């Protein structure tokens, strides 16, 4: 059968654009449909604007720390509209770059909402398009809270375009988005409280790192309320919000930022017209080749929920395109993927946590170091850094690396190469450090702090 396209991609985010570009370069005729913005979550309402906001929020601490280094900093004032609008200009520039990437690769961009009519047909507007393969790469969407008054909350889509910056905010949630934005609001001068229904935020991260970061975040000025959640929100005539908590207390704030998870953005895609199946949390089920139960339909990125990270979506998009149009095997490994949380202090993590090492039953050793970075000895800042390595005692291989402190992501990225290459603790010990840096701690930790399963 002759189709209009070899590959029709729904969603022009990181994974969709990468798959489209590589497939086109391999000789396929490709179209991409997008109804919102080029670049997906990461470029528009995720990684990129969030990191710009983090940079802005760190300046207040830098101004304060400068005094210890002899700088007399005068009166400072944060201007929300300047940050917001400069961020928007940068995002629009990146949107243009993504458009150029598709155009230069020979990919046709179709603006509009796409829905699947049947296993080989996609409808955009009033027009139908046929394709040998259909790829669903629509990403995720913030989950709205279900309590009364939940419509008065803002989420990680809304926050980048607020008309006015709040003076007092409640942040609801215990995941990385909640913790990052608590730091952003606090750093930009907002009276900030983070509420989380559990006993400690960042579930799934290394326990020692979680406890350390909790202490450091609180030290920075964020009020932490664990085992606490919101029951309802009432909006006053003046726009302020009265927030009823499950412990009987109330808060009156200017804004509630809710980060209670993300869900696959599959509503309205017409997947009910196919054999595509979902798991209990709404992600599309795929096999090792990203193929759904409908043989002509594939899915990748956040919508399948394997690792909801931009670099993972990029790698998946490349692997799928090469599989479909060059016949390559998909050999993508999800092991030892380094990740970072841009809270304050930054967190970066790689490999297994201490708890996961313990669960294996195999002997392991923990090497850790907590210290005040050199910069803070003069600035007077009380912020500290924590680094740790987890070593398999039988092989001497480093199987986990974790850090909480400035530039954690930059440092762990380098370690990711070593760990993926199978570096041992002896390799680390025999590496000469760069002095004076925080990173050198990873090659100078000689004595184990503790050992497990021995």
Alpha carbon distance 235, 227 (integer Å):
24
Q: How far apart are alpha carbons 243 and 229 in whole angstroms? A: 10
Helix or strand run (H / E) with residue 168: strand 168-172
What is the three-class DSSP state of 279?
coil
| Cα atoms found within 13 Å of the Cα of residue 132, Cβ hemisphere only | 11
Residues in the chain: 454
Kindly list the strands in the beta sheet with 191-196, ordered across the sheet, starting from the edge strand earlier in the chain.
Answer: 223-226, 191-196, 168-172, 255-258
107: exposed, middle or buried (Cβ count in 10 Å: 0-12, 13-18, 19+): buried
E strand or H helix that includes residue 393: none
Cα three-residue angle 234-144-244, rounded to 5 degrees: 30
Strands (E), 27-105: 30-34
Neighbours of 63 (CB within 10 A): 13
Contact indicator for 423, 434 with CB cutoff of 8 Å: no
Report how far residue 301's alpha carbon sits from residue 295's, in angstroms, rounded to the nearest whole number.
18
- CA 190 to CA 267: how far, in whole Å? 35
SS3 content of the chain, % helix, strand, coil (to 5): 35, 25, 40
Residue listed under structure tokens 């975040």: 217
Based on the residue annotation, tell me whether 435 is a catalytic residue of this protein.
yes
No. of helices (H) and no. of strands (E), the chain: 11, 22
Catalytic member of 113, 120, 402, 435: 435
**Nearest partner of 321 among 104, 107, 19, 24, judged by Cα:** 19
Gap between the Cα atoms of 83 and 381, Å rounded: 26
Strands 262-264 and 140-142: antiparallel
Active site residues: 435
């Amino acid at each position: 059968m002759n189709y209009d396209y070899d590959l029709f991609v729904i969603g022009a985010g990181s994974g969709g654009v990468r798959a489209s570009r590589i497939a086109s370069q391999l000789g396929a005729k490709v179209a991409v449909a997008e109804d919102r913005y080029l670049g997906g979550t990461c470029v528009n309402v995720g990684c990129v604007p969030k990191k710009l906001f983090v940079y802005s929020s760190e300046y207040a601490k830098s101004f304060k720390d400068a005094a210890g280094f002899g700088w007399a900093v005068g009166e400072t004032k944060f201007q929300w509209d300047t940050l917001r609008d400069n961020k928007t200009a940068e995002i629009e520039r990146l949107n243009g770059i993504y458009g150029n990437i598709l155009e230069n690769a020979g990919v046709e961009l179709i603006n509009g909402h796409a829905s699947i009519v049947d296993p080989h047909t996609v409808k955009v507007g009033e027009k139908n398009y046929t394709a040998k393969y259909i790829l669903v790469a629509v990403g995720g969407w913030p989950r709205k809270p279900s309590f009364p008054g939940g419509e008065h909350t803002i989420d990680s889509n809304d926050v980048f375009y607020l008309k006015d910056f709040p003076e007092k905010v409640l942040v609801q949630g215990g995941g990385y988005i909640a913790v990052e934005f608590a730091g952003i609001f606090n750093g930009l001068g907002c009276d900030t409280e983070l509420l989380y229904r559990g006993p400690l935020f960042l579930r799934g991260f290394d326990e020692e790192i979680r406890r350390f970061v909790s202490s450091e975040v609180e030290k920075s000025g964020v009020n932490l309320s664990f085992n606490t959640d919101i029951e309802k929100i009432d909006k006053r005539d003046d726009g302020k919000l009265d927030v009823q908590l499950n412990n009987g207390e109330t808060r009156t704030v200017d804004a509630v930022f809710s980060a209670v998870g993300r869900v696959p953005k599959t509503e309205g895609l017409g997947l009910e017209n196919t054999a595509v199946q979902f798991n209990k949390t709404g992600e599309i089920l795929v096999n090792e080749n990203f193929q759904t139960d409908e043989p002509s339909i594939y899915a990748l990125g956040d919508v399948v929920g394997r690792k909801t990270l931009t670099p993972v979506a990029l790698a998946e998009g490349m692997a799928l395109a090469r599989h479909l149009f060059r016949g390559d095997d998909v050999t993508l490994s999800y092991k030892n993927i380094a990740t970072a949380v841009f809270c304050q202090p930054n967190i970066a993590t790689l490999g297994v946590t201490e708890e996961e090492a313990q669960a294996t039953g195999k002997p392991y050793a923990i090497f850790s170091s907590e210290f005040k970075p050199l910069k803070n000895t003069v600035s007077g800042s009380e912020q500290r850094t924590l680094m740790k390595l987890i070593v398999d005692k039988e092989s001497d291989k480093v199987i986990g690396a974790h850090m909480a402190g400035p530039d954690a992501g930059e440092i762990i990225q380098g370690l990711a190469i070593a760990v993926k290459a199978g570096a041992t603790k002896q390799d680390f010990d025999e590496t000469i450090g760069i002095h004076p840096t925080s990173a050198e701690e990873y090659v100078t930790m000689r004595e184990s702090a503790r050992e497990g399963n021995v």
